[in-house]
A and B are shown apart, each in its own frame.
Chain A
Amino acid sequence: DVKVTQSSRYLVKRTGEKVFLECVQDMDHENMFWYRQDPGLGLRLIYFSYDVKMKEKGDIPEGYSVSREKKERFSLILESASTNQTSMYLCASSPPLAGGNTDTQYFGPGTRLTVL
């Protein structure tokens, strides 16, 4: 059974703190993604990675960075947390894109981050 796990379900941090969100997948997927989900806005892509040490900006990368040192692990880093980064963070993984596109992503359960 495929699985994507995230290190915390709930996290409370203070403004200015450095925050690490960890994601691990056991499906040997090449691609990994970080989204944030906010009411009325759906899921918005922060960063993605298509290989170890490779990363690409998504639609809302400001204030975030990522790290992918191992294939199975993709970390999201908030360098200096701010209150507007309070959100639900979702990690996902997918196999390599094929011709015809089978972009089915497998999501973790999410981390609800509150920045005070």
Chain B
Amino acid sequence: DQQVKQNSPSLSVQEGRISILNCDYTNSMFDYFLWYKKYPAEGPTFLISISSIKDKNEDGRFTVFLNKSAKHLSLHIVPSQPGDSAVYFCAANTGGFKTIFGAGTRLFVKA
């Protein structure tokens, strides 16, 4: 049973518009959430994170929102750029060594 779910395998967005990637989780013990970005032929790289005590974290064009009551988080990219085209993994952690990853969403940003 997947504890972290990314229900959209892919998303296509026009350059300059907003990209919204969604993630749902089932384990209420998760206290830290992360987004990783992966280009083809490369390993994932850390993008942004949020602690469960916050509901928003912003870093430049990237903002992560956390809704604990709905067990839902989202990544907003504004404005989207062609270089943002990649696979985005949502991940969650309870404070230990094990991080649970979602299946990933492939983002296509069209020029």
A residues lining the B interface (CB < 8 Å)? 4, 9, 31, 33, 35, 39-45, 48, 50, 56, 58-59, 90, 92, 97, 100-101, 103-110
Residue interface bits B42-77, CB-to-A below 8 A is 1, else 0: 111110010100000000000000000000000000
Bound complex: CA A90 to CA B102 (Å):
15
User: Which residues in chain B, 1-42, are within 8 Å of chain A measured between CB atoms?
Assistant: 2, 4, 6, 9, 31-32, 34, 36, 41-42
Considering the complex of A and B, which 3 residue pairs feature the smallest CB-CB distances, nearest first? Answer: A107-B43, A43-B101, A42-B101
B residues lining the A interface (CB < 8 Å)? 2, 4, 6, 9, 31-32, 34, 36, 41-46, 49, 51, 89, 91, 93, 95-99, 101-104
Bound complex: CA A39 to CA B105 (Å):
11
Kindly identify which residue among A41, A42, A44, A90 contacts B43, using a CB–CB cutoff of 8 Å. A90
**Contact in complex: B98, A109 (CB < 8 Å):** no
CB pairs A–B below 8 angstroms (24 shown)? A4-B43, A42-B2, A42-B4, A43-B44, A43-B89, A43-B91, A48-B98, A50-B97, A59-B98, A97-B97, A100-B51, A101-B31, A101-B32, A101-B93, A103-B32, A103-B93, A104-B46, A105-B46, A106-B46, A107-B36, A107-B43, A108-B43, A110-B41, A110-B42
